A and B are shown apart, each in its own frame.
Chain A
Amino acid sequence: MNCPEQEVIEHYMSGELTDVELTEFKTHLQACPACKAKVAEADTNERLLTELRTFGKQIPQASKYSNTEVATIDRAQSFLGDRYRVIRKVGEGAAGQVFQAIDTVLERLVAIKFLRQKPKHDAKVPDVCKNREVFTRKSPVDGADSEAWREARLMSQLNHPNIAQVYEIGELGAQRFIVMEWVDGLPLTEAWKGLQLQQRLRIYLSVLDAVAAAHRRNIIHRDIKPSNILVTSEQKPKVLDFGIALETLERIEEGVYRGTPSYSAPEQISPPVKIYPATDVFALGVLFYELLTDTLPFPQTDAKELFQAIRSEYPELPSAIQEKIPIPLQNICLKALEKEPQKRYPNAQSLSDEIHRYLGGEKIWSRPSFLTDKVHQEVFYHRQKLKVWHDNELLTEKEFDKLEGIYERMISPPDLSIIEARKLSLSQVCLYLGGWVVVLGSFVLFYKNWEQIPRGWRPMPAIVATAVMVIFGIAMWYRNESRLSVGFLATANLLIPITILLTLAQWEILSPAYYPWGEESIAEGLRKSKSYLIVGNVQLFTSSLCWFVASLVFLRTTRSSIFLVFSIIAFLAWLSTYYIISGMEDWTTDIVAGRYLFPHIGLLILGVILDRHRYVKYAWPLCVVGLAGIVICLSIIARSDKTLFFWLWPTENIPEWYGKIIMTIMEGQKDAELLGFVCNGIVYFCLAHICRLQATRLQRGLAQVLNWLGPIHILATLRMLDGVVESETRELIYRILLPIASLGFVFGSVARQMKSFFFSGLAGIAAAVHKFTVEHLDKSFAWPVSLIITGIVWMFVSWLVPRWKANQALKRKG
């Protein structure tokens, strides 16, 4: 006979077997020692079970074992009087009991925390304990009491929408209580179940704001965990329980562990316990890990194993648990979970800023140390291989140097000042905008010969502006204000060719033997018109050379590529001006462009197809030629006299209804130009988006180019209004709309770091200044001078205002 099932043994114990079954079972028992042992065990188990049942239902619930009820609802009510009406008890902790109550005066729900009373026999604490501050101060009742008062005091200091507010601190006889905001919500990790990543991030950022507010007041929470963050039904988180918070930015507490193991930072669990704001950042990192993966980074349940893991193990990569996690967010999370506090974000605000940078579309520079260590190891290994290949002449000198350079850049830490200078913050945009106005002001000096001013003084505004920029740029550099220094030096860099050219032309140094544009008729025309300052080719050559040298010097000194970029942009703008004047209008028509458009689209599509099939070296030229052709053709079509709609249907025999619709929409053929350029801009945005969806290098490059074309074409539409305006109202719209739209582009670029909009905006401002100067202020020398002064003042304001604000904030904190 096989061994009977547990059910049979149970029935045997309870006497439920039939006679036949009983006989059979007993026979088996005699032959089977294993079953005999099972029966003996079941017998002992039954006795234990009887004992458990005697204690009744109290025992299974004993996991929430509480001390005796010090304060019942009635007793609580007796302390509170009429103001608060206690509804129910909602919780109990080491510090006391929490009740839900109604504030009958203000008619709102409140949470009232009754603190445990101090013991009456403090004097009986044995000497052995008295010598040890830890024991006398931290004994459960005494410690809890002082902690709760500290909690109330600290929370009352913090007035933040995401921190539960303390309304009142009361004391009646020996009984103390705190009246707090009632938060009806779920713990954080419960609340974000089923929410999308973006929604979770929104909640998480609010939590970061709350903790950052505490950090600004030099308060470290020390026990951040989901149950201490309740999320209301409006998805608004509230941080609670500052019970063990510290009121200092750095503290050493020997031998005292406070907090929740799974959310504790390494420095919190390793003696001597050191507490920093970064200790909270670790707990926030654990929360962030849970946000991304729904699991804890250190899931060990045994305390020893858990602490060991926190001290020395790295958590599993979040992307290994959830594939779709954005890598920048993973890096931010792992950076917050660094073992050494110095390697983490220094406080909650820095962590919040980094996540905002990601959400704003900026590049994230956080690199968790264990990932960078891996990269360093790999690079070291690769470089050794490179050397071997180089020694065996598998690589040329040039290739070897290039690869070495790439690896060198990979392992060298990013220069934060350059990153900061590239970032489009509001103050940075203001700084650049001021610089740009100075440049434009100096450029306006070319518009006239300024006969009314003595020759020696004519280039002076530009010379002074350049000197100011260079001096302040260098001064800022030596004061380690790299961001400002780059701003001033970049302006100086753009001013240098203008100033040199102006000086040479006005002081008649290296006077022109002939004029640089080649076309004698244009140069003569300009000379006769007397409206522009004419410069010679030697002067142009000299100033370009000086500009180039200055760019290299600045580039070498600051290592900021902005100098190179600005020089290239200025140079291309110079060339493209003449290309537009002499090119498109004379020798191209919309008909010709229409014929060439589709072949170019074909070339682009062919390039993309080749790229998809990994024939990149053939795809590149096709894509470049195709895209360039499309841009030129679309611009010609938009610039032509015919409407876009007519062009789409080029035959004369268009249906009557189609013609009527077009005429209604367009209200005349000249508006087609405006619509055409706007349409082109939108087409480029759409193309850029499509290219971004395809993740090949070539298409990413195309997307970048298209990203620049979009805003430029939209602003170009406003510039084109110049040619089509007929009434005064529309003239006004043009004058106001272009500068406003340009400024909108410049300041709007801050939110999502859209550099294409920023630089398009600057170009738009330049166009507006040009138009305004030509039409109204071409005779006033005060106009360029005032532009220069305004720009300089604007730059200094954008430098000084943030400093002044920071000082005010410090004073308030003080």
Chain B
Amino acid sequence: MQWVTTTQVLEELKASNEAQVWRRFCDHFRPVVVNFARHLGLSATDAEDAAQETMVEFLKAFRDGKYDRQKGRLSNWLFGVARRVILNLRGHQPLERLVADKTTGTSFWDLIQDDHSIKHSWETQWRQMVLTKCLEQARRELDSKVFEAFELYALSETPVDEVAQLLKMSRNAVYIAKSRVLSRLRQLERQFE
């Protein structure tokens, strides 16, 4: 997927009506909402519906000028919309659908402790999405050997000697690879947000 920052996506959305822009926006943020809804206990189909509605609600608000980038992060705004949509959707569900496990009596409401945990859940999904996109972009940008060294050593925690031997590079080169990828990830992270 092409690397596009949040700012770019929003600017495009403001300036253009093209389907391509809409699709890019959805590609960016829809999975977060779907995962968030799933995390809150909605079924897969309902989660998809919730995400679709969130996207449409946000677009309407954005075009009406209700969302101002200067006043807060997009993540927070989208969270507000998604939360409202999910709770509305829940309101239309029959009671049985909300009971996740009848045997233990755990209900949908039992899964949601408080606003703080909802917010935490959202932040986790958002963060995961951002890091995923940054990793994807770093993988595209950097030399494949460098990225592989990073994956093996830093993420999979393979011993440095093994990585060096496997990729036929020096130990120091493995450490440099790790440092380079992480530095680039931080840059990309800043760009994205």
Among A10, A44, A68, A257, point to the contact of B34 (Cβ < 8 A): A68
In the complex, the answer to whether B131 meets A59 with C-beta atoms within 8 Å is yes
**A501 CA / B13 CA spacing, docked (Å):** 86
Restricting to A124-145, which residues have a CB under 8 Å from any CB of B?
A: 124-126, 128-129, 132, 134-135, 138-141, 143
- Chain B nearest Cβ from A393, distance in angstroms: 65
Min C-beta distance of A776 to chain B, whole Å: 79
A558–B28 CA distance with the chains assembled, in angstroms? 65
Stretch at the interface among B15-23, B74-82, B95-103, B104-112: B15-23
In the complex, A69 has a CB within 8 A of chain B: yes
Q: Which of A65, A125, A257 has the most CB of B within 10 A?
A: A65
A119 & B52 in contact (Cβ 8 Å cutoff): yes
Do B19 and A255 have beta carbons less than 8 Å apart?
A: yes
Q: Are B132 and A59 in contact (CB under 8 A)?
A: yes
Task: Tell me the B129-157 residues at the A interface (CB within 8 Å).
Answer: 131-132, 135-136, 139-140, 151, 154-157
* CB pair B132 A119 closer than 8 Å: no
Which of these, A45, A57, A67, A255, contacts B18 with CB under 8 Å?
A: A255
* Residue numbers in A under 8 Å from B19 (CB-CB): 134-135, 138, 143, 255-257
> Is B48 part of the binding interface, using a Cβ–Cβ cutoff of 8 Å?
yes
CB atoms of A41 and B49 under 8 A apart: no
* B56 contacts partner chain A, Cβ-Cβ < 8 Å: yes
Residue of A nearest to B38 (CB): A68
Nearest chain A CB to B112 CB, angstrom units: 19
Closest chain A residue to B171, Cβ basis:
A7
**A273 vs chain B, min Cβ distance (A):** 10
B155→A60 contact, CB < 8 A: yes
Q: From residue A43, how far is it (CB to closest CB) to chain B in Å?
A: 11
Complex CA distance for A63 and B132, rounded to whole angstroms: 7
Asked if A303 is at the interface (CB within 8 A of a chain B CB), the reply is yes
Answer yes or no: B165 CB below 8 A from chain A CBs: no
Assembled-state Cα–Cα distance A163/B45 (Å): 33
Instruction: Tell me whether A60 and B135 are in contact (CB under 8 A).
Output: yes
Within the assembled complex, what's the spacing in Å between the Cα atoms of A138 and B35?
Answer: 23
Asked if B9 lies at the interface with its beta carbon under 8 angstroms from chain A, I say no
Q: Shortest distance in angstroms between A81's beta carbon and chain B's nearest beta carbon?
A: 21
- Minimum CB–CB distance from A67 to chain B (whole Å) comes to 6
Tally inter-chain residue pairs, CB-CB below 8 A.
132
Asked whether A121 is an interface residue with its Cβ less than 8 Å from the other chain, the reply is yes
Q: Is the CB of B34 within 8 A of A45?
A: no
Is A70 in contact with B183, judged by CB distance below 8 angstroms?
no
Chain B residues with CB below 8 A from A30, complex form: none
Complex Cα–Cα for A126 and B64 (A): 11
Whether a CB of chain B sits under 8 angstroms from the CB of A53 is: yes
B185 contacts the other chain (Cβ, under 8 Å)? yes
- Chain B nearest CB from A255 CB (Å) reads 5
Q: Identify which of A45, A65, A69, A116 contacts B182 (C-beta below 8 A).
A: A45
Decide if A782 is an interface residue (CB 8 Å cutoff): no
Q: In the complex, A433→B19 CA distance in Å?
A: 60
> Is A51 in contact with B135, judged by CB distance below 8 angstroms?
no
Beyond A132-B17, A134-B19, whether A67 also contacts B172 by CB under 8 A is no
Judge whether B48 and A70 touch: CB under 8 Å: yes
A409 at the interface (CB under 8 A from B): no
- Taking a contact as CB atoms under 8 Å apart, the answer to whether A63 and B31 are in contact is no
Q: Does B47 contact A (CB under 8 A)?
A: yes
A sample of 24 cross-chain residue pairs with beta-carbon separation below 8 angstroms, ordered by A number, consists of: A6-B172, A7-B175, A10-B175, A45-B182, A48-B182, A48-B189, A49-B154, A49-B178, A52-B135, A52-B155, A53-B155, A59-B128, A60-B151, A63-B135, A65-B31, A67-B34, A68-B35, A70-B45, A119-B53, A121-B49, A124-B56, A135-B19, A139-B26, A257-B19
